[in-house]
Amino acid sequence: MHNLVIDIGNTNSKLAIFDEKMLVHYQILKEIEPAVLISLIQKYKVKNSSVSIVREDLQEVIDVLESHTNYIPFSTKINTGIKNYYQTLSTLGLDRWAKVIAAHSCYPGQNSLMIDAGTCITYDLLSNDNKYFGGSISLGIDMRFKALHHFTGKLPLVEWQQEAEIPKGTDTSSAIKNGVLQGVINEVEGFISSYNKENIGLTVLLTGGSAAFLLEQLKNSIFAPQIIHDPYLVLKGLNEVIAFEYVQKN
């Protein structure tokens, strides 16, 4: 049974096809074309589908899925066995909730801190007894560079490469890079250290577009417990939702 799941973010969309729990296809797209979806559905004989969307302008994607698959609407009302204490479910991001569901299924019985370094940086904790209270939302790396440029009169908009080393602040451009990147690292280390003190055997799950950069910076950190780079966390959560709903109906 093949499932098609899509994580539509603020910047890119991630698409995956699972055969049960096995990932058989994955790609990142700037825009999702209906023709591409239909082609994949036919090629892999997709039966079920679900989507995590943070934007409101993609009804045509849902229309395709409803027409060609058993489409399962995803919402924060779907719960696979998590004790959810978040006070405003209507404002809880679907991508955040999908990551919690993935941690619950893929890393059971563990204190799991999910750090998603994308447009924003989000921190969410699922305790080893399956309790979720929420977390934190911070500015993403690109957003920090843009904010420095936008809200000042003279600071330039600086681009950065994930593979490059963090420079010393010997001129304005390198000072911005150092401040933003080292600031993010200090923030992430601080969150990890705080959560690690309060949660025994903490597992940190890194995902998002800047996760590889953070993983490289954190690998020698004295604050870091077990760190796992899982770029498919949201997609795994959506796939678990499909499996859960299928069992509920049958």
Catalytic residue among 7, 95, 116, 124: 95
Active-site residue 95, yes or no? yes
Q: Could you count the other beta carbons within 10 Å of the beta carbon of residue 228?
A: 14
Sheet holding 112-117, edge to edge: 83-84, 131-139, 120-126, 112-117, 203-207, 226-229
CA–CA separation, 37 vs 114, rounded Å?
A: 29
Helix axes 59-68, 34-44, angle to 10 degrees: 30
CA–CA separation, 176 vs 227, rounded Å?
A: 28
DSSP 89: G
DSSP 168: P
Q: Around 69, how many Cα atoms within 13 Å sit in the side-chain half-sphere?
A: 30
**Mind telling me the catalytic residues?**
95
